[in-house]
């Protein structure tokens, strides 16, 4: 078990040896900050309008006007950035031949898989931490619902875990980082767009497709709804992804 921590600490640090971590965090912070700024500005205009039309003010609240659109957008940015975080995990090892060291060391395939996954997840958490000023600002100058903020972050973390497990798997099936990124991005996109298909599919199809969609589940969290169905979805997705990665790693010995 100790070896898992050694692996995580090495993997996590190697994000910072190369510029990847800095570039990712910088762009993510910039983009999310830009969005937060614009959404707040739009909210201010609404406030001014509400001075003229008092009935409008009743519909104004921070959850609906700022938190939900902001974190909805962030989840799309994450969909773009997570594949870049995960693409090197296994692909680079295979390309550089360092997988020969890892797979001939007394560390099990499961430990390797989980360690790699957790190192990317840790970077993800660091990245997410850079968005914490937004709720802090909202709390300081407004009166947002605290429960919604907590449930939104819970959703974001769960969704991130499933993104990462999918990206880790994509990295395990190829030795080309670009392919790993393209595959994981496309698959994430499919799981996003699958929600759209639900509108055209029949009664049962609608339920199935919208259940499979990443963002339908995330929606509930941004409403302040913590449903075991959503948690189960993300957790099972994550575990399934990690399991597939493990199987890929194991099977590479038999090919």
Partner 1 sequence: MIEVKNLTKKYGDKIGIEDVSFRVEKGEILGFLGPNGAGKTTTMRIITGFLAPTSGSAIVCGYDVSENPMEVKKRTGYLPEHPPLYLDMTVSSYLDFVAKIKGVNRKDRKSVIDEVIEKCGLKDVRGRLIKNLSKGYRQRVGIAQAIVHNPEVLVLDEPTLGLDPQQIMEIRNFIKSLKGQHTIILSTHILPEVTMVCTRVLIINKGRLVAEDALEELYKKEREKLILSLRIEGEKEAVLKLLKPLKGVQSVESKNGEILVECSKGYDPRDEILRAVVSSGMKLLEMKENLPTLEEIYIKRISQEG
* Among 43, 103, 192, 240, interactor with partner 1 by CB under 8 A: 103
108 sits near partner 1 (criterion: CB under 8 A): yes
DSSP 8-class letter at 227: -
64 sits near partner 1 (criterion: CB under 8 A): no
3 sits near partner 1 (criterion: CB under 8 A): yes
* Among 23, 42, 44, 101, interactor with partner 1 by CB under 8 A: 101
170 sits near partner 1 (criterion: CB under 8 A): no
* Among 56, 76, 98, 196, interactor with partner 1 by CB under 8 A: 98
Within 10 angstroms of residue 125's Cβ, the number of other Cβ atoms is 13
202 sits near partner 1 (criterion: CB under 8 A): no
The secondary structure of 158-206 as a DSSP string is HHHHHHHHHHHHHHHT-S-HHHHHHHHHHHHHHHHHHHHHHHHS-HHHH
Length of the chain equals 255
* Among 1, 17, 140, 203, interactor with partner 1 by CB under 8 A: 17
Subset of residues 115 to 134 that bind partner 1, contact rule: CB under 8 A: none
- Cα–Cα distance for residue pair 249/243, rounded to 1 Å: 10
18 sits near partner 1 (criterion: CB under 8 A): yes
- Which residues 6+ apart lie within 8 Å of 241 measured at CB? 162, 164, 165, 166, 168, 169
* Among 32, 86, 99, 168, interactor with partner 1 by CB under 8 A: 99
* Among 31, 77, 80, 102, interactor with partner 1 by CB under 8 A: 102
Q: Report whether 237 contacts 174 (CB < 8 A).
A: no
* Among 14, 63, 73, 220, interactor with partner 1 by CB under 8 A: 14
Q: Report whether 230 contacts 221 (CB < 8 A).
A: yes
113 sits near partner 1 (criterion: CB under 8 A): no
Q: Which is nearer to partner 1, 98 or 236 (CB)?
A: 98
Q: Which is nearer to partner 1, 101 or 125 (CB)?
A: 101
- Cα–Cα distance for residue pair 123/13, rounded to 1 Å: 10
Stretch that binds partner 1, among 7-15, 64-72, 122-130, 140-148 (CB under 8 A): 7-15
- Cα–Cα distance for residue pair 241/251, rounded to 1 Å: 15
Residue whose entry in the numeric block shows the structure tokens 């395939």: 109
Strand, coil or helix: 46: helix
57 sits near partner 1 (criterion: CB under 8 A): no
104 sits near partner 1 (criterion: CB under 8 A): yes
- Cα–Cα distance for residue pair 121/78, rounded to 1 Å: 12
Binding site for partner 1 (CB under 8 A): 2-3, 6-7, 10, 14, 17-18, 96-108, 253-255
């Amino acid at each position: 078990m100790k070896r898992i921590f050694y692996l995580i600490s090495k993997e996590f640090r190697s994000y910072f040896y190369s510029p990847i971590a800095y570039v990712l965090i910088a762009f993510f912070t910039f983009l999310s900050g830009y969005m937060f700024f614009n959404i707040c500005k739009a909210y201010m205009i609404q406030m001014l309008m509400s001075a003229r039309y008092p009935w409008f003010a009743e519909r104004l609240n921070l959850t609906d006007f700022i938190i939900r659109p902001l974190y909805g957008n962030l989840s799309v940015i994450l969909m773009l950035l997570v594949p870049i975080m995960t693409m090197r995990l296994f692909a680079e090892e295979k390309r550089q031949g360092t997988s020969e060291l890892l797979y001939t060391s007394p560390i099990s395939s499961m430990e390797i898989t989980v360690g790699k996954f957790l190192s990317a997840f840790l970077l993800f958490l660091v990245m997410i931490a850079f968005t914490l000023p937004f709720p802090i600002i909202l709390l300081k100058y407004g009166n947002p619902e605290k429960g919604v903020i907590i449930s939104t972050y819970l959703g974001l973390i769960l969704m991130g875990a499933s993104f990462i497990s999918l990206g880790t798997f994509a990295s395990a099936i190829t030795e080309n980082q670009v392919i790993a990124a393209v595959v994981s991005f496309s698959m994430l996109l499919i799981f996003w767009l699958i929600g759209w298909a639900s509108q055209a599919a029949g009664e049962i199809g609608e339920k199935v497709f919208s259940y499979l969609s990443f963002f339908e589940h995330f929606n509930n969290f941004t409403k302040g709804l913590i449903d075991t169905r959503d948690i189960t979805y993300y957790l099972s997705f994550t575990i399934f992804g990690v399991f597939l990665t493990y199987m890929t790693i194991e099977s590479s010995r038999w090919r």
